[in-house]
């Protein structure tokens, strides 16, 4: 039995991470899905709705095979902190995050959340390349 923590910020990210994880999960595994917003003026009702939609994608895609627990945090933390805290709290065996392909001049830097998770965690991770959504 494995425990995964998946960080998502959109339905597209959720779908691509599910495609990846569906090849790895087994009966008895647990997937904790995290969508995080800073809150205050930085987060509106559309952001919350979109976060719910992103979480629901994972439940609908993987919920028949494994236990899926969703977490939408709006508590003033940066998303990386929420992902890492969730991983620690639930004893994650692995963190699953996505990164978007970037042009040559910006390849040096991942998105800030992915970079923060990669640099601040000692838990094994899978980094899934995401298709660019226009």
Q: How many CB atoms lie within 10 A of CB 130?
A: 20
Q: What is the CA radius of gyration of the chain?
A: 14
Residue 60 CA to its chain's centroid (Å) = 15
Q: Which residue has the higher pLDDT, 112 or 30?
A: 30
What's this model's pTM, rounded to 2 decimal places? 0.88
Task: Please tell me the distance from the alpha carbon of residue 41 to that of residue 9, in angstroms, as a whole number.
Answer: 18
Which range in 41-50, 52-61, 110-119 is most confidently predicted, on average pLDDT? 52-61
pLDDT digits (tens, 9 = 90+) for 71-113: 999 988 889 999 999 999 999 999 999 987 665 555 545 567 8
Task: Please tell me the distance from the alpha carbon of residue 121 to that of residue 134, in angstroms, as a whole number.
Answer: 30
Q: Which residue has the higher pLDDT, 129 or 14?
A: 14
User: What does DSSP assign to residue 104?
Assistant: G
| Domain 3-103+114-130 fold | Rossmann fold (3.40.50)
Question: What length is written for the chain?
Answer: 134
User: What does DSSP assign to residue 55?
Assistant: H
3-class DSSP state for residue 108?
coil
Q: Report in angstroms the alpha-carbon separations of 32 from 14, 39, 127.
A: 12, 21, 16
Residue 127, CB-side half-sphere exposure with 13 Å CA sphere: 14
DSSP string of 31-47?
A: EEEEEEE--GGG--HHH
């Amino acid at each position: 039995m494995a425990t995964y923590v998946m960080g998502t910020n959109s339905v597209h990210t959720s779908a691509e991470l599910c495609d990846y994880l569906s090849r790895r999960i087994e009966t008895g595994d647990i997937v904790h899905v995290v969508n995080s917003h800073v809150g205050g003026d930085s987060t509106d009702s559309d952001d919350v709705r979109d976060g719910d939609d992103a979480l629901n994608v994972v439940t609908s895609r993987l919920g028949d095979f494994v236990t899926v627990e969703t977490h939408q945090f709006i508590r003033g933390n940066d998303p990386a902190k929420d992902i890492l805290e969730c991983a620690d709290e639930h004893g994650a065996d692995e963190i699953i995050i996505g990164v978007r392909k970037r042009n040559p001049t910006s390849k040096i830097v991942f998105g800030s959340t992915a970079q923060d998770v990669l640099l601040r965690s000692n838990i094994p991770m899978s980094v899934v390349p995401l298709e660019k959504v226009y």
